[in-house]
Structure 1
């Protein structure tokens, strides 16, 4: 099911089928006018078709190349584009058939939400994952207020606030990925998955386990610092969290705190406060509630409801690349907590994200906006 009208080297979602297995290969496009929204919609259409097709038993999604950030590299051109992304996230989390994601490179932003939401997520030593939104004046979205809020202790707040990177072993250790498979074994794993004529969870799991390895954390893994992370990130406010990290960083042997402090102090003060609140609210919210909240926050941020930091972050870090964002407000003390409330307020009724409430309309509502 390849995309019509494009050379296969220029496609971003390349669909292949063999027996009862459907394969979606995500590739970085060379076609400059290809937008992220087109690819999100294409993947959504394929997933809907496969879920409804009785012959399809297993769906495998694989990243190709060094980077699967394509969903955020393009500019979302309309509210409907953003809506479709959140709508797709819900359907991947709740997909009715067995899915396997294979990630062998950089996986950040929206692409991570698509890959880690699948029933099986296979990662390698080449994966590089982080939630960097605070550094861009944005928030951890696309279901990550749900995912991060369910990580051990206060690790979710830590990742959302500090942009700390996790490798493949660490992702498996915290439960964000299900299996660690060395990159050299992927060819053989792919061949075995292609040969399956089953979507049975136990069969797929045992097949992956033929190639996966037991995870042992490196000595310098950030996950070995969870007691300090929990102590710092359990504090009530961003300011108190930073103060606690400063205190820990002054102690001998805690040099690892230095880059953490650097990220926190360079990030958008408004973005940091929004992220902390969103993750903590996520602990008490369902997946649907998290996505609805995140959609509201995204729309209000992009409307500039309380700040234009998201646009300033994009300018400084991805467009002009001067790495000197001019945040406004510039400090945590200047960020009015009452104004933070405004980005969490409901939108107009005809704009709100509508999650399917019954099986009959599960794949409806794509174009509600």
Structure 2
């Protein structure tokens, strides 16, 4: 008999179905944004399930047009005058990210809608991440003066070539098919089949990975990116986004825009140049460091960056970006400094500098986080760009 537990605010729904637990993000009007309450509930549920020998399979899904649209920007904006007002939720979110990467039970994400920002950490790292034709993925943090967070300096840095830098700096969107091909999701299932898939997973009543994979495969279809997909532009992306600095990347990208067939670059460049200079530089450095870091190392670094950015150690751009996007909605942020060459490497060092050990994110230095890049083993992306 299924038991449904609804918390008073109904932000997260919990259902117990024999050996399966179904978590549903239930803030459709807010695109299932990850608030402090949601973070706490998710952490509570996942920890409880992991300790329960009766639980074998955990399914996470969203209601409405979004799986999860990332963090609650207004919460951070409202807390900007209080030095530590958001410290606890940031800490809890990074612990949740680590927990998801190292989770002992089989997890399945049914991501039928927007999968953006920190909310993507509830889908992409899972052993099974199912997407549909309605799924849209993006990491747009740099555009508001922030940085690529919630383990994505690790995930994006491990994408083939320099696709990670491209996605992090431009905030470019990928659809469900592109996510599967690139290795950011494991299966593509048409949205009309998603209810039936969920029902079969519940009926399976098991966390056996081979059995779960077999059930999902029955509903999934093989996909290839559309002809105009950015995934067909890997040579151009590698050439431009392998440059050492953001300034050099933009210069190289501008040069490529004049070549026949590269008309797509113009719009991307326009968005890139509107983004916060400080956020862009922090993001590029973080992604580059991520290539040589473990998941725990990336999470500790990102926690550091998040706290320092929220505390405006070198710039208040994140609050200006949030104001322009969600508060006044004028989409005209006034960055400080306004240009890339005014952001020095010495200033960047300040936000990357380690805290005293007792102030760092307290997660195991190594642990048994599975190697996320294993998703590439069956990815079509490698063969796509080997032609």
* Residues 134 and 140 in structure 1, CA contact (< 8 A), matched pair in contact too: yes
Secondary structure of 1:301's counterpart equals helix
Aligned counterpart for 1:173 among listed residues 175, 181, 185: 181
1:341 paired to 2:344: no
Distance in 1 between the 2:224 and 2:160 partners? 17
Q: 1:5 offset after TM fit, Å?
A: 2.9
Name the residue aligned to 2:113: 105
Name the residue aligned to 1:142: 150
* Residues 296 and 364 in structure 2, CA contact (< 8 A), matched pair in contact too: no
1:254 paired to 2:262: yes
Secondary structure of 1:272's counterpart equals helix
CA deviations over 1:88-120 (Å, ceiling 9, x no partner): 000001100100000011111111012111110
Q: 1:348 offset after TM fit, Å?
A: 3.6
* Residues 162 and 263 in structure 1, CA contact (< 8 A), matched pair in contact too: yes
Distance in 1 between the 2:164 and 2:310 partners? 24
Name the residue aligned to 2:5: 2
Q: 1:336 offset after TM fit, Å?
A: 1.1
Name the residue aligned to 1:59: 58
Q: 1:201 offset after TM fit, Å?
A: 0.7
Q: 1:252 offset after TM fit, Å?
A: 1.6
Q: Which moved more, 1:75-84 or 1:152-161?
A: 75-84
Q: 1:176 offset after TM fit, Å?
A: 0.7
1:20 paired to 2:28: no
Name the residue aligned to 1:75: 75
Name the residue aligned to 1:312: 320
The 5 Å alignment of 1:1-369 reads 2-6=5-9, 11-28=10-27, 36-67=35-66, 68-69=68-69, 71-73=71-73, 75-76=75-76, 77-356=85-364
How many aligned positions are there?
A: 353
CA deviations over 1:290-333 (Å, ceiling 9, x no partner): 00000001111111100010010001111101111000111111
Distance in 2 between the 1:262 and 1:199 partners? 46
CA deviations over 1:153-182 (Å, ceiling 9, x no partner): 000000000111000000000111000000
Unaligned runs of 5+ in 1: 360-369
Q: 1:72 offset after TM fit, Å?
A: 2.7
Distance in 1 between the 2:92 and 2:61 partners? 21
Distance in 2 between the 1:2 and 1:74 partners? 28
Distance in 1 between the 2:236 and 2:274 partners? 21
Distance in 2 between the 1:64 and 1:19 partners? 22
CA deviations over 1:122-162 (Å, ceiling 9, x no partner): 00000111110111000000000010010000000000001
Distance in 2 between the 1:120 and 1:15 partners? 19
Distance in 1 between the 2:89 and 2:249 partners? 35
Q: 1:251 offset after TM fit, Å?
A: 1.1
* Residues 294 and 366 in structure 2, CA contact (< 8 A), matched pair in contact too: no
Secondary structure of 1:99's counterpart equals strand
Distance in 2 between the 1:308 and 1:161 partners? 19
TM-score by structure 1 length? 0.92
Please give the root-mean-square deviation of Cα atoms over the aligned residues, in Å. Answer: 1.6
Q: 1:71 offset after TM fit, Å?
A: 3.6
TM-score by structure 2 length? 0.88
CA deviations over 1:195-241 (Å, ceiling 9, x no partner): 01211111100100000000111000000000100000011111110
